[in-house]
Structure 1
Amino acid sequence: MSRFVISCGGTGGHLSPGISVAEVLIDRGHDCWLVISRKQVDARLIEDYPQLEFVRAPGSPLSGNPLGLIYFIFGQIRLTVFALRFFCKVKPEAVMAFGGFASGGIAVAAFFRKCPLVLHEANRVIGKAIRILARFALRIYLPEEVTVPWQKRASQVRHFGYPVRRQIQKIPRVEAREEIGITEKGKLVVIVGGSQGAQALNDWASQCLEDLAMEGVSLYCVTGLGKGHEKLKEVEGKNGKRIKAHFIPFTNRMGEVLSSADLVVSRAGAGTIAELIQCQVPAILIPYPYAADDHQIANAHYLQVKGGCVVLEQRFIGKLTGAVLDLIGNDERLRSMRQDLERLENKKTSDVIAEDLEQIASGSSNRITTGKVEISV
């Protein structure tokens, strides 16, 4: 039995894969602690996992103003001290970090403790945190087909993809709708803005109701925490039929929500895309235009090339209603997209990551010294 610490807080895109890996490690008889942030989204997401050990750590994300930079630096110092004390207590044999502001201090503490560090990059553009921390890492997990211009040891890189939580499973559409209280039997569009919501998509969802209703299309919108209250709207469609639109701020049942959809409209975070693939639901992706290094645009275009989505930039959101109606009315196109998504599905990601972590913890993987890392494939 080995001991692992997983740093995965701050957003659903970081926390969800951490939960997925932790579940497998615990099933294999290991001890595992998940270090998360104190943000509301983390608190809500962990409610369904009382069997896992979560540790709330200090720290705040980096913002663009001088005061925000000071808070960030101070938070990283506090996080490093916290992690050093915590590691002295639990004595991990490997530490895994999923990037973001919650990873910096954890990785530094792992370095000082001479504990093997493993990094996971979910997006198709390697983020700043992973780039900075790479020099301390024994292993880096990247998405398939992602290459980088810097590397000395090819053994340092593994292309393992994104670990999806067990809760996120494709189930029959009728069953999925029953599970989340959707009684409509016609076409359904689901809007998902990621774990933190997307105001532009929420605004579109409120404005497009009549147009969708006239085509008999219902709507289910996950607005994001702090971006509205749960409500149900009814709009008159053709022949006086009442069409429903559901708005909820958060859901712990994303597998059922996605499985209930004929079409999803969403941002293009790596976690959302992995869940779309898992549930095999076609999507129109609206990449967040201010994402660091335009990583959501890279994520979205990759899935579009693979046939699983259509990409529409936010500056063209005025065309979204037409795009939705065109696509949701084309059953043959939707069927083809579902088949392409099925070919992309990989259910074993968490298992292969857990196996690699076991090897690292046992010392069977070669350890590297610090220095500039040049990752090649």
Structure 2
Amino acid sequence: MKKMRIIVSGGGTGGHIYPAMALIKRLKERDLIDDVLYVGTEKGLESKIVKNAGIDFKTIEIRGFKRKLTLDNLKTVELFLSSIGKSKKIIKEFKPDIVIGTGGYVCSAVVYAAHQLHIPTVIHEQNTIAGVTNKFLAHFVDKIAIAFTEAVDQFSEKKKIVFTGNPRAQEVVNIQKNDRLKEFNLDANKDTVMIFGGSRGAKPINQATIETMDKFIEADYQVLFVTGRVHYDNVIKLIDSKYLNSANISVLPYIDNMPEILPDIKLIVGRSGATSIAEITALGIPAIFIPSPYVTHDHQTKNAMSVSKVGAAKLIPEKELTSESLFKEINDIMSDTTVQQTMSVKSKEIGVPDAADRLIKVLTDLVNK
């Protein structure tokens, strides 16, 4: 199979960047890359993540449109047009066989420029609700890769759509059980619930968890509570020391390389971002989702509904989240091994453990056409 020169672009949030990184990692594992270039913005999260991974990185200056008509949007249009010009220069110098965009406004210019230069193009949509950039690019690209079947309705170009799943799923699927829970003063052999509100943490989830400590201390399972770095100091102040010193509870600001501990978790409680769902379903872990109501088009709720409707997860809307509702849902699952096993099976049924390879096939088919 021919080795490819590939340009990858995506940014703004980890949900756009981590699937791209997982794809690059798998391409390298299969020795399918001749060279790879990542195009992002200097201010975006991708700048740090991609550079730290040792991947060649170039930037363009671009920003998203305001939702209201403003004079500021004229500047945004100017930046978009000039970024197309810079993207063309980057593409002509690098000479890629294919260009893939994983979302975020930065990839709009890069993928559109590649289309104008007659380079094969693909976009990857991670969520049930497509982003503005991907909806725009869908008219021009050769293929649209999706991670949720519900996303089909987001695009009019049905013939271009291929269901691949999220490459992040394949990155975690082979992780084996380990004793890493010991690092957090927990019993590696005891059933564990992880409560995690995302990398920045989530105040409502943290508050409900704090108010449930008196029940967790007496449970026959243990709780790994990850607050997010921003909230950690305040959370610690609000928790009675008897709970902090309990062998049943561990409170942390953040966990590096979190996927490593997922095989040791019986139940995950948290947000329903696309990357989290890809990881959870690849491993078949039961989940309780508390979607963020603050994301664009409420896509986390739609993501969570996609998983909960098949019985792989429970859904608690944030406005209905209380210590009582949180504990009830956790306890109902953790006290019944049959429920756990059923949810795990349902989760694996919708997981896509070969997602990166599926996306790679889309790329190689276009390159070899």
TM-score normalized with structure 2 length? 0.83
* Cross-structure match for 1:337: 343
Cα separation, 1, equivalents of 2:190 and 2:71: 51
Cα separation, 1, equivalents of 2:229 and 2:83: 25
Distance 1:149 1:300, change over 3 A: closer
Cα separation, 2, equivalents of 1:193 and 1:96: 30
- Among candidates 282, 285, 290, match of residue 286 of structure 1: 290
Q: How does 1:1-377 map to 2 (within 5 A)?
A: 1-26=3-28, 27-38=31-42, 41-42=45-46, 45-46=49-50, 49-50=53-54, 52-61=55-64, 73=77, 76-77=80-81, 79-146=83-150, 147-148=152-153, 151=156, 154=159, 156-164=160-168, 167-169=171-173, 171-178=175-182, 180-184=183-187, 185-224=189-228, 226-228=230-232, 236=242, 242-249=247-254, 251-318=255-322, 319-362=325-368, 364=369
1:336 positional shift: 1.5
1:188 positional shift: 2.4
CA root-mean-square deviation? 3.1
Distance 1:216 1:344, change over 3 A: same
Cα separation, 1, equivalents of 2:52 and 2:173: 15
- Kept in 1, the 8 Å contact 2:173–2:353? The answer is no
Distance 1:97 1:149, change over 3 A: closer
Alignment deviations for residues 122-172 of structure 1 (CA, whole Å, 9 cap, x no partner): 111222221111111111112353332764662x22111111166524645
Distance 1:261 1:153, change over 3 A: closer
Distance 1:214 1:128, change over 3 A: same
Distance 1:117 1:40, change over 3 A: closer
- Kept in 2, the 8 Å contact 1:15–1:36? The answer is no
Distance 1:276 1:134, change over 3 A: same
1:333 positional shift: 0.8
Identity percentage of aligned residues: 21
Q: Secondary structure at the match of 1:214?
A: coil
Alignment deviations for residues 46-104 of structure 1 (CA, whole Å, 9 cap, x no partner): 47733x33434434455667587577556545643442332122122211111222222
Cα separation, 2, equivalents of 1:254 and 1:47: 20
Q: Secondary structure at the match of 1:264?
A: strand
Task: Give the counterpart letter for 1:53 in structure 2.
Answer: D
Distance 1:323 1:71, change over 3 A: farther
Out of 315-324 and 23-32, give the one that drifted further: 23-32
- Kept in 1, the 8 Å contact 2:146–2:165? The answer is yes
Which structure 1 segments of 5+ residues have no match?
A: 365-377
Distance 1:272 1:116, change over 3 A: same
Q: Secondary structure at the match of 2:22?
A: helix
- Kept in 2, the 8 Å contact 1:236–1:242? The answer is no
Task: Give the counterpart letter for 1:272 in structure 2.
Answer: S
1:225 positional shift: 5.6
Q: Secondary structure at the match of 2:278?
A: helix
Alignment deviations for residues 220-265 of structure 1 (CA, whole Å, 9 cap, x no partner): 344446444699878536xx9543322224x441222322322111
Q: Secondary structure at the match of 2:138?
A: helix
Cα separation, 1, equivalents of 2:246 and 2:232: 26
- Kept in 2, the 8 Å contact 1:170–1:255? The answer is no
Cα separation, 2, equivalents of 1:124 and 1:222: 26
Cα separation, 1, equivalents of 2:48 and 2:335: 35
Out of 115-124 and 70-79, give the one that drifted further: 70-79
Task: Give the counterpart letter for 2:341 in structure 1.
Answer: R
- Kept in 1, the 8 Å contact 2:206–2:227? The answer is yes
Cα separation, 1, equivalents of 2:285 and 2:65: 34
- Kept in 2, the 8 Å contact 1:284–1:311? The answer is yes
Q: Secondary structure at the match of 1:322?
A: helix
Which structure 2 segments of 5+ residues have no match?
A: none
- Kept in 2, the 8 Å contact 1:265–1:283? The answer is yes
- Kept in 1, the 8 Å contact 2:225–2:249? The answer is no
